[in-house]
Amino acid sequence: MTNQAAYEAFHQRSVEDAEGFWREQSALIEWKDAPRQVLDFSNPPFARWFVGGTTNLCHNAIDRHLKDRADQAAIIFISTEVDQERVYTFADVHREVNKVAAAYKELGVGKGDRVLIYMPMIPEALFAMLAAVRIGAVHSVVFGGFASHSLATRIDDATPALIVSADAGARSGKVVEYKPLLDAAIDLAAHKPPKVLMVDRGLAKFAPVEGRDVDYATITTKHAAAEVPVEWLESNEPSYILYTSGTTGKPKGVQRDTGGYAVALAASIKYIYQGEPGETFFSTSDIGWVVGHSYIVYGPLLAGMATVVYEGTPLRPDAGIWWQIVEKYKVSLMFSAPTAVRVLKKQDPTLLSKYDLSSLRALFLAGEPLDEPTAQWISDGIGKAILDNYWQTETGWPILSVARGVQPGMDIKFGSPGRPTYGYNVKLLNEQGEEAAAGEKGVIAVMPPLPPGCMSTIWGDDARFVKTYFTSFPNAQFYSTFDYGMRDEDGYYFVLGRTDDVINVAGHRLGTREIEESISSHNAVAEVAVVGVADQLKGQVAVAFAIVKDAALVATSDSAKKLEAEIFKVVDGQLGAVARPSRVHFVTALPKTRSGKLLRRAMQALCEGRDPGDLTTIEDPVALQQLRTAVGIA
């Protein structure tokens, strides 16, 4: 059996005999009551997995490991912002989580209640998440950088019984106060949470609200010896709500189940990431995003691995800090974003080889398309396997991947996140809902039922769930990712960008990803973003914003024009003149969320002289001002 055929057989069985396949995977976690039925798909597109089975995420992530690895590291906290490092064993985490769970119960939180968590990357944030699922409460983590208005909309949607927060976080050496943002959000919100549990890090003074705010240290010390039994939940009861990044208007709360999510993550660590108990997993994301939920908190802990919780940037104190962490804690697997690699690309390359990376087996990248030049650069720099994967907040784990845990040595193609992951019946569909052939563009879609671990619905809005995700194609009910893609003859997929990021230039449909890859192949370019801008003659034209490796190349208007002309020539040669951007603006930063997502719609709006909308998710306001200047807005 060939390399290709071995995986194809595995994948084929996972979609053709989904119940048999997932029944086997369900043994990767512990159940109090075994499932009576693997799949209930009687009300499509809603899928209910492991019906009748009862389990608990906290039990599977922490309690079940106490017998064999109580003294093994579970959480490794590193903050280069406040110069702290702490290691918690599984026994330590169990103790801390029980204390918080007891505090929750004292504050009136019970099964099914929501706990909203608005915190920096500190261990207490993970304790807060685990304590919620321990007692059957539903947590909703909101990224600790959202402004008050965005936080208020999430408070009103989730209606939490309790909010857990902290005085402040830190970013690039600067204190970011959370409490004023939280207080303002509660003032704006119609729903007023009865209690707020505050972690005081001593970074920013704040005034507690009498009768509402509770000190974390005081109440958890009171419950230092608490033993709180886990609440066994039916597999399909919700574990958490996570709001999609950049939502405008009423936010979309992705609702995740309990049993299906646990099984899916445990299987993904085995088949995709190839993690082993006792090893260390380092994801550079944030718990405010889906990667943080799946591969900082639950995935590694379910597998009995240690997980690194990192507060800091890839550049503080220098661009070697991640590799220093790999060396010190013998990290086996890393998970980051292409954006972060592009940041490192502009730094001293000798830092990539300064530290002992012998423990590291692979670097996984996701969150945005990974271009071939960036993948090749980091591969050459650290000499490790670079594995892209593609997924969404909605799915919770990869849709496309290179599952070397299924087939060792499965081929990697730079520029492609891989093949459809087992469990996902992926289709590439045109606008008529017909399958696209190899080499043709289409929308990446999934034939339901969605596999375990994917969203079960939108919190409180089943109708919106169906309308948003399952009505894009005529005459058939497919889940739409809203991403264009292409499949090659070997079955590898290439993600071309969002369906609303496709540029129609004089009748020619062009993916922004294609133009970005072409521009980034110029050796002077470190990073680039392309948006479609309205044009009276052509309908739309492409406009590029590029960051160069050496600022001297664009120090004068003449030098900038010269480089722009070179880039035009590259695009002409690779894609044709129709794909040539109307302009290449040179900037030193691009507007992004902290998770690395480019704010393309805002960029497009500014180019067209429109209101860019809600920009509270932006990580670096300087980038926005540079964009305004570049397009001639004061």
435 φ, ψ to 5°?
-70, 135
Distance CA 524, CA 137 (A): 51
Among 484, 519, 543, give the residue marking a domain's end.
484
Q: Domain end: 417, 450, 484, which one?
A: 484
What is the residue range of 545's domain?
506-630
Per the structure, how many domains does the chain have? 2
Position 367 in a domain = no
Instruction: Please choose, from the candidates 108, 103, 195, 190, the residue with its C-alpha nearest in 3D space to the C-alpha of residue 155.
Output: 190
Nearest to 448 by CA among 471, 430, 482: 471
H/E element, 384: none
Q: Does residue 473 sit in the same domain as residue 512?
A: no
pLDDT value for 486: 95
pLDDT of residue 258: 98
354 in any annotated domain: no
Q: Are residues 394 and 520 in the same domain?
A: no
Residue 151 pairs with which residues in a beta bridge?
Answer: none
Q: Is residue 496 part of a domain?
A: no
Are residues 437 and 520 located together in one domain of the fold?
A: no
Q: Is the dihedral of CA 435, 438, 442, 444 positive or negative?
A: positive
CATH at 519: 3.30.300.30
**598 in helix, strand or coil?**
strand
The enclosing domain of 55 has a CATH number of 3.40.50.12780
Whether the Cβ atoms of residue 401 and residue 493 lie closer than 8 Å to each other: no
Strand runs (DSSP E) across 80-218, as ranges?
A: 84-89, 114-118, 138-141, 162-166, 168-171, 174-177, 195-199, 213-215
Residues 26, 66, single domain; the answer is yes
> What Rg value do the Cα atoms of the chain yield, rounded?
24
A 10 A CB-CB count for 522 gives 18
Contact 174, 82 (CB under 8 A): no
Query: Dihedral, CA atoms, 71, 75, 80, 83, nearest 10 degrees?
Result: -40
* Residue 163, in any domain of the structure: yes
Question: pTM of the prediction?
Answer: 0.85
254 close to 293: Cβ distance less than 8 angstroms: no
Asked if residue 459 and residue 528 are part of one domain, the reply reads: no
Considering the domain architecture, whether residues 142 and 211 belong to the same structural domain is answered as yes
Q: Classify residue 582 by burial, with Cβ atoms within 10 Å: 0-12, 13-18, 19+.
A: middle
Q: Looking at 452, 484, 516, which one is the last position of a domain?
A: 484
Does any domain span residue 381? no
Do 171 and 220 fall within a single domain? Answer: yes
- pLDDT of 613 reads 67
> Looking at the domain assignment, is residue 571 inside a domain?
yes
97 and 32 in a single domain? The answer is yes
Cα-based torsion angle of the residue sequence 447, 451, 453, 459 in order, rounded to the nearest 10 degrees: 40
Within a domain: 495: no
d(CA 434, CA 428): 8
- Which residues of the chain, if any, have pLDDT below 70? 1-3, 145, 245-250, 500-502, 504, 506-509, 536-537, 594-595, 613-620, 633-634
Q: State the alpha helices, DSSP H only, in 254-371.
A: 259-268, 290-292, 299-302, 321-329, 338-345
Report pLDDT for 589.
85
**Residues composing the chain:** 634
DSSP, res 270: I
Say if residues 83 and 68 touch (Cβ distance below 8 Å).
Answer: no
Same domain, yes or no: 154 and 197: yes
Cβ neighbours around 426 below 10 Å, total: 22
The 3-state DSSP class for residue 364 equals strand
Beta bridge partners of 548: 525
Query: What are the contacts of 358-361 at 24+ separation with CB within 8 A?
Result: 359/280, 359/326, 359/327, 359/330, 359/331, 359/332, 360/326, 360/331, 360/332, 360/333, 360/334, 360/384, 361/274, 361/332, 361/333, 361/385
Q: Are 357 and 323 in contact (CB under 8 A)?
A: yes
Assess whether 478 and 551 both reside in one domain: no
Asked if residue 346 belongs to a domain, the reply is no
Whether 536 and 582 map to the same domain: the answer is: yes
Check residue 249 and give its pLDDT.
46
Beta bridge mates, 79: 84, 311
**418 and 524 co-located in one domain:** no
Nearest CA to 528 out of 593, 585, 599 is that of: 585
